Chains A and B, each alone.
Chain A
Amino acid sequence: MLILQQLINGLMLGGLYVMVAVAFTLIIGMLNFLNFTIPALFMVAAMMMWATMTGNLPFGNETLLGVFGEANLWVAGVLIAIIVVSLASLVIERFTYRYMKAKYGDATEHALPLVSSLGFLIAFEHTVISAWGSDPLTVVSPFGDATFKIGSLLFSYPQVISLVLSLGIVFTLNYIIRRTKLGRALRSIAERPETATLMGVDVLRIVPIVYVITGLLCAISGVLFTINYTTVDAYIGDTVATVAIAGMVLGGLGNVWGAVIGGLMVGIIEVFSIYIVGADFVKVPIWGLLLIILIFKPTGLFGHSAIGKGKF
């Protein structure tokens, strides 16, 4: 029974990882680079949520309190997180895609967007530290500690809702990719970027949309993190969101379904690791597993091997 409870907890955590893993996998699949701004955006969204709910925004706190009321400040938090992250995504798009020019196609040139994303990560992290310091910050969950039981298994409402929401968003995303015109455009960019334009895809309009979609995934995940775990700090991008990378690799780079399964699996592995070897040691099984997968089966469980070959 205890095992089953851990499994449940793992799935809940995995639900958060799923969205971040999908964000990573979308950018890798379509634009061929490892986007380190994703952990940063996750953290920014979580911090925006905290700041809104605790009245720590640089301005407008009273207005929001007046409009939403204390009990519903979390709604404002969600909106603000989404707006901030979307705007940031558009800026990031310009400097990791639109303004980049490849000259020789040699080995490190493809790392340019990766490096740029690291620059953004540093800038965002330090902006947050400048504003609110680097210590952990807490927020009171708007939903209290609502839990329910099925048999002897404990579920918390916020976590279940997060899981359902995560999966729902990803299913919708997947539907969009498979069944809509936008999705077709996305897939043609992913498969053959050079000819996508020839096929009538307005790449310069579509790519920002991809960035915003991945930004939204990070934003929602970050907001859910704040609600569920109630403690945030400037480093949760590094400590929490980067673990989702393992989920992406497990599922196979560029594979959205793979990222879903990978994200859930990583959540479960993490919870079980903490249970078995303690929280201090948890880095080793997760990153060790990632290292082994990368060496022996880099395509992951379901993935494509073409992506990442000689490219970033």
Chain B
Amino acid sequence: MSGYLESQLIILCLSIIYAYGIFLPAASGQLNLGAAGFITLGAYASGWFNLSDGLGVSMPLSVVMAMLFTGAISFAIAFPILRTRGVYMVLATFAFAEVVSGLTINMEFLGAAAGMPVDDHAAVEIVVIAAIGVTLFSFYFMSTRLGLALRSIHDDESVSVLFGVNVRLAKVAAFTVGGMLMGLGGAMYGHHYNYIEAQAFNVLLSIYILLYVLLGGTQTAWGPLVGAIFFTVVPELIRNLAIEIGSDWLADSRFIFFGAFIVLMMVIRPEGVVTRTMQDRVASALAGRRKDTGEAE
């Protein structure tokens, strides 16, 4: 695989992992605008656990520890943050990411402003496997009764309570597992590039990931996959097209189109690209064609 394709694949895989981390709480209506914070935690944690000057554990173990670490912090802040609602929650997660950013840039043992080198390398195959694993896990998670509860909470929280759903715990679970996935993504980033720049994960990243998820659709587990693919592949396609036709303007403007596209989507198809109805109809169509009976179920 060419170097260019490989680097694009890495970016895509990381985006997919991050996106599922945001998707799990988003499926229950909790919007997390602080992805960068969780990713940062995972990246630095795994890097430091793995570093010979740090804890010196092997990479698989450091990654797992980083996920648990990020999960523990997600769990700890989930309770207070999930007491906030709507816009307050968006702000709280945003603030959380800024605090993490402000803290890590000042920690000497993490390299402060110079960033941190990471010892062990995670090859492309590992990152791809991680992305596939996260995707499969997320499909499984959403297919469980807990996933059903999360989607019920999204549609009508009060009624969900009346049927016995422990809304608090469900939201905390989604938030915590989502945090762990983002921690995994950050760890993969650190181990693949073998270096964590000081402000590698910023506000724009948090915004983009949330946008991938919302534009892909939060009703099904296909949404974040479609969102991440669409929004990492299309800008690159446009950029290549621009280089082909020699238009600098087009190359520079691809994010302007991205922004305009978001605005239009919110008016035309706010539920995102992949909706529940679409998933069911596609599934029915596929099943019908396989059975080849003219009968509707």
Contacts and interface: CB of A to CB of B under 8 A. Distances in A.
A112 B211 CA distance: 11
A143 interface: no
A100 B267 contact: yes
Given A108-B218, A295-B80, A95 B91 contact: no
Given A280-B106, A312-B87, A108 B29 contact: yes
Contact of B263 (A95, A125, A253): A95
A122 interface: yes
Nearest to A127: B256
B141 to A, nearest CB: 18
Interface string B94-110: 01101101110110000
A59 interface: no
Contact of B91 (A100, A127, A290): A290
Contacts of B204: 238
Nearest to A94: B267
Given A119-B260, A310-B157, 15 more contacts: A32-B87, A99-B267, A100-B266, A100-B270, A116-B266, A238-B203, A242-B203, A283-B101, A284-B102, A284-B103, A288-B99, A291-B95, A295-B84, A296-B80, A311-B86
B29 A298 contact: no
B221 interface: no
Contacts, number: 161
B95 A287 contact: yes
Interface of B: 26, 28-31, 80-81, 83-88, 90-92, 95-96, 98-99, 101-103, 105-106, 113, 153-157, 203-204, 207, 210-211, 214, 218, 249, 252-253, 255-256, 258-267, 270
A219 B64 CA distance: 48
29 contacts: A34-B91, A95-B263, A107-B28, A108-B29, A108-B31, A114-B87, A114-B90, A115-B262, A116-B263, A118-B262, A120-B263, A122-B207, A123-B259, A123-B263, A126-B258, A127-B256, A242-B203, A246-B95, A253-B87, A283-B98, A283-B102, A284-B99, A287-B102, A288-B99, A291-B96, A295-B81, A298-B84, A298-B88, A311-B86
A187 interface: no
B88 A294 contact: yes
A137 interface: no
B85 A308 contact: yes
A122 B99 CA distance: 23
A130 B263 CA distance: 19
A70 B103 CA distance: 45
Nearest to A288: B99
Contact of B153 (A107, A114, A118, A283): A107
A243 B99 CA distance: 13
A36 B235 CA distance: 23
A112 B266 contact: yes
A27 to B, nearest CB: 11
A28 B96 CA distance: 21
- The SS class assigned to the B binding surface is helix
A108 to B, nearest CB: 5
A115 B26 contact: no
B106 to A, nearest CB: 5
Contacts of A205: none
Contacts of A288: 95, 99, 102
Give the interface centre of A108, A253, A283, A298 by most chain B CB atoms within 10 Å. Answer: A108
A113 B270 CA distance: 10
B99 A283 contact: yes
Contacts of A107: 28-30, 153-155, 157
